[in-house]
Chains A and B, each alone.
Chain A
Amino acid sequence: MALSLMQPQASNDSDLVRETLAGSQLSFQLLVERYQGRLFALARNYSRNAAEVEDIVQDTFLKAFRRLETFQHQSSFSTWLQRIAINTALDLHKRRGRSPVQAVEDPEILSDASPGNFDRRVMAPDARLEQEEIAEVTQQVLEELPDIFRTVLVLREFEDRAYQEIADLLGVSIGTVESRLFRARARFKDALLRLFPEFDPQWNGGESQ
């Protein structure tokens, strides 16, 4: 096989996977280049530490490399890789003990946001807030959420993924995505108003009524 004759730029993912399995380091590097931006963007929603984000992405690619034989070519490499990335990020969370332990992964069983939440309103971020300030608030609130809610919000709101794509990534039905998203938003609102009561339109500056 003449390496120099290959046109790796034009290769699709499946070809690059095959070439990697056949021993081409360059082909694997091209796969990494193709997806590194997307994975860094995904991973930074799980950590605010740049070194940790890099660790997540690096581990994702190393895991993918080791499992490359198990990749089914009829499915999407992109989805397969991002699944590994999400699981790697969540593993890191678990290892750091950051996320509340969930005995039951079924969001239907996890308790809802507090009752009355649906009547409470929330303000959009103030136009005078800097981009970084908004991101800081949002990340702090996301830290409060159980992983399954955080993940669905990240995919929907930051990553702008369609319900079907989220369902594929998480291996759940669209109905589950919808119900998780609904609960995640309620939780997010709850935590936002708890941590930052000034974004409650009814906020009276902290004086008791």
Chain B
Amino acid sequence: MTKPKCEQAAALVPGYLDGELSEEQAAPLRRHLLACPECRTAAQDLTNLRRWFRDPEPVAVPQGFAARVARAAFSGVEPGQPLPEVAPPEPVAPRRDPMPFLLGMTSVAAGLLFAFSLVLGMAQQPAGEQLVAEPLPEILRDLDELNAAETPPSVPLDARGNGARRGDR
């Protein structure tokens, strides 16, 4: 029972959600989605799928990586070979007077504590909040608004595995 219009719409939906359509292409599609619950459901499905790809946590590049790799490249290390071991970067400082050392360590500890509190603060944000707070591409928000305006709330996402509820209606 797919009308030809729906086939065209289905072909455009991924590009629409990926932000790849021109406004001339997007505007009629938006109108079709407003009018057609089936295509809207298909678009929502793709939106749901894309939510599995969260922005990953920032990567930690190992300390001194660039210097190590550059040194290895210039000393003729081949791809696939392990990098040569390097001497520890921080030489042990002579310690005649322990005070500067202690002061130094205290400030390092303070810095670490501060960093740790930042990490804790970040970790305490509930994941759900982050999901909601993350700015969606405008185009996705459009779709969400369409859905909010046009359909009763679909499957509640509040609990894992209770999706069968939809069948109860």
A residues bordering B, Cβ < 8 Å? Answer: 25-26, 28-30, 32-33, 36-37, 40-41, 44, 54, 57-59, 61-63, 65-66, 88, 118, 121-131, 134-135, 137-138, 141, 153, 156-158, 162-163, 178, 181-182, 185, 188-189, 192, 198-205
Cα–Cα, bound, A44→B59 (Å): 9
Besides the contacts A32-B66, A188-B49, A198-B163, what 4 more A-B pairs have beta carbons closer than 8 Å?
A: A25-B74, A61-B69, A134-B54, A158-B56
Asked if B18 and A62 make an inter-chain contact with CB atoms under 8 angstroms apart, the answer reads no
The contact of A40 among B46, B48, B61, B70, by CB within 8 Å, is B61
Decide if B88 is an interface residue (CB 8 Å cutoff).
Answer: no
The contact of A204 among B20, B67, B78, B164, by CB within 8 Å, is B164
Cα–Cα, bound, A205→B127 (Å): 25
A32-B65 contact, Cβ under 8 Å, with A131-B54, A131-B130, A134-B54: yes
Asked if B160 and A198 make an inter-chain contact with CB atoms under 8 angstroms apart, the answer reads yes
A32-B164 contact, Cβ under 8 Å, with A127-B131, A128-B159, A138-B52: no
Sort A-B residue pairs by CB-CB distance and give the 7 closest, nearest first.
A157-B53, A29-B70, A127-B128, A32-B66, A201-B163, A124-B51, A124-B48
Asked if B70 and A25 make an inter-chain contact with CB atoms under 8 angstroms apart, the answer reads yes
Asked if B78 and A178 make an inter-chain contact with CB atoms under 8 angstroms apart, the answer reads no
12 CB contacts below 8 A, A to B, read: A25-B74, A32-B65, A32-B70, A40-B61, A62-B79, A124-B47, A125-B131, A127-B132, A131-B54, A131-B127, A163-B18, A192-B52
Residues of A close to B69: CB separation below 8 A? 29, 32, 58, 61-62
Chain B min CB distance to A147 (Å): 17
